[in-house]
Structure 1
């Protein structure tokens, strides 16, 4: 992979992590908009704090190569829930943002898994 593309990928990861830092912080700090959203979904308030903490931890995990796949996997499940919740409750205008994040996380997940497979293949070749 060329150096420019690699730098662009890291910038995208930092931006993605930043989005989840902001979203997670809004949840764990009990921002009024988040409280209203979770109450509108009839979800218990503790789920907002749990999801916010998972988003914060996963945002950090995205920036660490060893934990990137796990972090993007966790965020993918959270985003599937977010998209689904907005669809179920008829909040169609709110769907595009988590849907775009979902696609971005799936891309990170696939790329991370491909890298792990390539490393595993290299290890198999070294052992032979």
Structure 2
């Protein structure tokens, strides 16, 4: 049951990143306005959107989950920081919650990897 809930959580989290990534890659007006308000070049929006889409898929594959959650963690640190620097405080909670979720996935994935490696050492 615990594994099923974990996969449901990962699918939901990946779905959120698919939605945000698609909004960036397709140049949704809201995203363009946000990036312009940060004075970031438009290409960064497309790059981050592509990284979000790739990482969303990576969250669902055990072998790439650590890398994907790490990439998303860095993206979200930048998002939270940007909103704070530009005093867009009302926009901080959403990326902050996603940041906590991706850090959680990263920590759980690292712990699972550590457990797998210790099991391999015991068997060897």
The residue that corresponds to 1:84 in the other structure is: 81
1:119 pairs with one of 109, 112, 116? 116
**Any idea what SS the aligned residue of 1:30 has?**
coil
Over 3 Å off, 4+ runs? none
Match of 2:103 among 102, 106, 118: 106
Q: Measure, in 1, the Cα distance between the counterparts of 2:44 and 2:83.
A: 16
The unaligned stretches of length 5 or more in structure 2 are none
- What is the CA deviation profile of residues 39-92 of structure 1, one whole-angstrom value per residue up to 9, with x for unaligned ones? 000000000000000000000000001100100000000000000000000000
Matches within 5 A, 1:1-128: 4-127=1-124
Tell me the distance in 1 between the aligned counterparts of 2:39 and 2:117.
Answer: 44
Number of aligned residues: 124
Q: Please, what is the CA RMSD of the aligned residues?
A: 0.6
User: In structure 2, how many angstroms separate the alpha carbons of the residues matched to 1:118 and 1:10?
Assistant: 19
Quote the Cα distance in structure 2 between the aligned partners of 1:53 and 1:74: 12
Distance 1:116 1:51 in 2: 27
CA distance in 2, matches of 1:84, 1:123: 40
Relative to the length of structure 1, the TM-score reads 0.95
Structure 1 residue 126: Cα displacement: 2.1
